[in-house]
Chains A and B, each alone.
Chain A
């Protein structure tokens, strides 16, 4: 499939396999004369990790902003096939994306609630559940049993994610005082506490050392395998991307230039051209340069 074909029409099936969770059709985002995303269509699957890669300025974060209700797309339809029905994400604004469609997100520059403790960050993420349980705060004010039960459950869920992100011992530390790597993991834990069906991670490995990066891979695999949710991953670190993703979408100057399994994308001439054509070589993923076969495998390759 040539690059031209791949964005000419919406995609029919998910390259990595799996049940379709997210359908992006003809997404275009313009800011005045600047076209940040140009007619991008792709599918994201449930229980899979879909990586979105591309040089800086390719429109990756803009795509996330469209998905999470920050931007209203100029053109296009973003359908989330939620267990409770279909949601058109481009029509949901602000908090409704999280509340109704259960889409969670993390940021490239960490955005925790710095003056809340680690545990509070995870409890506040369960806001809607607790708000309902507390009868919009009245029950919480009087400490009624319904609310205390709901809160106990919320703490249990928080504890579960604290354990899986190795933050249990730091539960009472103010989030702003955590070391960088811990903050990254806490952001993922907080996103998971909203019990999402789709988790959008914007460069979760940025600034992590190799050891932390390795732990992150394990965490993301665990989330995919045990919680069966769809993960969209923006990442520059190719050791993360090639190792854990089931499906890769490559953007360049707002256009989709490749879409397929890691193996297919790695050997796609359009991708190699896009990366090699760059003047700054810092972005250059060594796996792609080498055309490497040793980079790791996705579950579907096995």
Chain B
């Protein structure tokens, strides 16, 4: 059975779905790293908060009697993106902005501190128990069949992949084509100079956190819908995986983050499918080690050229 094409296709679909979620989180890491050169280790927790905001909104909508799934999904998406974006903005404002001119290590430690804080904050408010949710989107289409092995693409997987592609297009457009995106790239390359041509650097950095948090919240919503259960600790592993994805793709590069996410998702899915589920994380992180040895700037990252 493992040798059939159907099985391969099944793992491919799983990998792409998982990879989309990782990719969306990875974008947040890579954008923040790009603009302020800092790894925001609390970003995984922002993703987790996105998932919690989603589940709470679903429950509230259920109580309010909104049962038409597409409407509920759109409302949850908007609410989760907005509230999580506010968390992202606050995180930057409260914890990182005061340290803007401090050594990198201070910011890094603060990020780890914020990560621990946010985990415990959610744990205290929501308790440590798993939060299960009924499947909201069910069903799918059969895409392939081989010797009785049916490969289906669920509607949930379709939503995840399509929404990810859509968000990628929107955010790439923002970065490449709009005034805000140009300002972000300017801040990334020379923050003081950006201020001298009139770019409000603080606001540009805030908006970067807002954008990253909004994308992470979408990933949180997807995670919730796909796995049907969340807890306060999901941000840790997902965050580390997404960070790995960002480094694998080349930290600082937006397409790199997406590519890295998909690759990590595929590696995990195929490893689980063909070898052992237990070692899937080892596989993903081993690839990271190999990339860092042979191509330290990541797959799509550009090497820093030191000018003499």
Question: Are A141 and B174 in touch, CB under 8 angstroms?
Answer: yes
Tell me if B196 and A128 are in contact (CB < 8 A): no
Interface residues of B in 166-217 (CB under 8 A from A): 170, 173-174, 177-183, 185-186, 189-190, 192-201
Do residues B199 and A95 form an inter-chain contact, with CB atoms below 8 A? yes
The minimal Cβ–Cβ distance linking B208 to chain A, given in whole angstroms, is: 13
Contact with A along B232-255 (1 / 0, CB 8 A): 000000000000000000000000
Beta-carbon contact of B196 and A97 below 8 Å: yes
Stretch from A50-58, A109-117, A238-246 that touches the partner: A109-117
B70 to chain A, nearest CB (A): 23
A68 touches B196 (CB 8 A): yes
Among B174, B177, B180, B190, which residue has its beta carbon within 8 angstroms of that of A113? B190
A94 / chain B contacts, CB cutoff of 8 Å = 195, 201
The residue that A140 contacts in the complex, of B179, B192, B201, with Cβ under 8 A, is B179
Chain B residues with CB under 8 Å of A23's CB are none
Q: How far is the CA of A120 from the CA of B173 in the complex (A)?
A: 15
Contact of A125 with B197 in the complex, beta carbons under 8 Å:
yes
Q: How far is the CA of A292 from the CA of B192 in the complex (A)?
A: 40
Within the complex, what minimum Cβ distance (angstroms) separates A134 from chain B?
A: 5
| Number of CB contacts from chain A to chain B under 8 A | 86
CA distance A156 to B78 in the complex (A): 39
Given A94-B201, A97-B196, A141-B173, are A134 and B179 also a contact pair (CB < 8 Å)?
Answer: yes
Does A104 lie within 8 Å of B179, measured CB to CB?
no
Q: Interface size of B by Cβ–Cβ distance < 8 Å?
A: 25
Tell me the bound Cα distance from A113 to B174 in angstroms.
Answer: 18
Once A95-B201, A98-B197 are accepted as A-B contacts, the answer to whether A141 and B186 lie under 8 Å apart by CB is no
Which residue on B lies nearest to A68, using beta carbons? B196
Within 8 A of B (CB), among A82-99: 94-95, 97-99
CB <8 Å contact, B170 and A127: no
Chain A's interface size range is 20 to 34
Taking beta carbons and an 8 Å cutoff, which residues of A are in contact with B?
68-70, 94-95, 97-99, 104-105, 107, 111-116, 120, 123-125, 127-128, 130-131, 134, 136-137, 140-141, 143, 190-191, 194
Report the bound CA distance from A114 to B193 in whole Å. 12
Interchain CA distance A191-B201 in the complex, whole Å: 18
The listed residue (A95, A116, A131) touching B195 by CB distance below 8 A is: A95
Residues in chain B near residue A124, CB distance under 8 A: 182-183, 185-186, 194, 197, 199
- Taking CB atoms, residues of chain A closer than 8 Å to B170 are 141
Task: Assess the B186–A137 pair: CB atoms within 8 A.
Answer: no
Distance A125 CA – B195 CA, assembled complex (angstroms): 10
Interface pairs (20), CB distance under 8 Å: A94-B195, A97-B196, A105-B196, A111-B193, A113-B190, A114-B189, A116-B186, A120-B182, A124-B185, A124-B186, A127-B179, A127-B182, A134-B178, A134-B179, A137-B179, A137-B181, A141-B170, A143-B177, A191-B197, A194-B198
Given A124-B182, A127-B179: A98 and B196 within 8 A (CB)? yes
13 further A-B pairs in the complex, CB-CB below 8 A; given A98-B198, A112-B193: A94-B195, A94-B201, A95-B199, A111-B190, A113-B189, A115-B185, A125-B197, A127-B199, A134-B178, A137-B179, A140-B180, A191-B197, A194-B197
Residue of B nearest to A114 (CB): B189
The answer to whether A137 touches B180, judged by C-beta atoms less than 8 angstroms apart, is yes
A127 cross-chain contacts in B, Cβ below 8 A: 179, 182-183, 186, 197-199
Q: How far is the CB of A117 from chain B (nearest CB, A)?
A: 11
Chain B residues positioned under 8 Å from A131 (CB to CB):
179-180, 183
A136 touches B182 (CB 8 A): no
Q: How far is the CA of A127 from the CA of B178 in the complex (A)?
A: 10
Instruction: Please report the C-alpha to C-alpha distance between residue A127 and residue B187 in the assembled complex, in whole angstroms.
Output: 12
A95 contact set on B, CB distance < 8 A:
194-196, 198-201
Knowing A111-B190, A113-B189, A116-B189, the reply to whether A137 touches B178 (Cβ < 8 A) is: yes
Residue in chain B with minimal CB distance to A116: B185
Contact yes or no, A113 B196, CB < 8 A: no
B33 to chain A, nearest CB (A): 15
Rounded to whole Å, the gap between the CB of B295 and the closest CB of chain A is: 19
B186 adjacent to A140 (CB under 8 Å): no
| A113 contacts B186, C-beta separation under 8 Å | yes
CA distance A123 to B302 in the complex (A): 24
| Complex Cα–Cα for A69 and B196 (A) | 9
- Residues of chain B within 8 A of A190, CB atoms compared: 197
Top 10 A-B pairs, shortest CB-CB distance: A140-B178, A98-B198, A137-B180, A99-B198, A130-B179, A95-B195, A113-B189, A94-B195, A124-B182, A111-B193
A6 → chain B closest CB, angstroms: 30
Residues on A with beta carbons closer than 8 Å to the beta carbon of B181: 137
Give the interface centre of B192, B196, B199, B200 by most chain A CB atoms within 10 Å.
B196
Q: Give the residue among B181, B189, B200 with the most A Cβ atoms within 10 A.
A: B189
- B180→A136 contact, CB < 8 A: yes
Task: Give, as a whole number of angstroms, the nearest-CB distance from A10 to chain B.
Answer: 27
A128 to B193, CA, bound (A): 14
Report the minimum CB–CB distance from A49 to chain B (whole Å): 20
A162 shortest CB reach to chain B, Å: 17
Q: Complex formed: what's the CA distance from A10 to B80 in Å?
A: 59
Residues on the A chain within 8 Å of B183, using CB:
124, 127, 131
Chain B CB count within 10 A is highest, among A70, A104, A131, A191, for A131
User: In whole angstroms, what is the CA distance A258 to B178 when docked?
Assistant: 48
Task: Provide the residues of chain A in CB contact with B177, threshold 8 Å.
Answer: 140-141, 143
A residues less than 8 Å from B198 (CB atoms): 95, 98-99, 127-128, 194
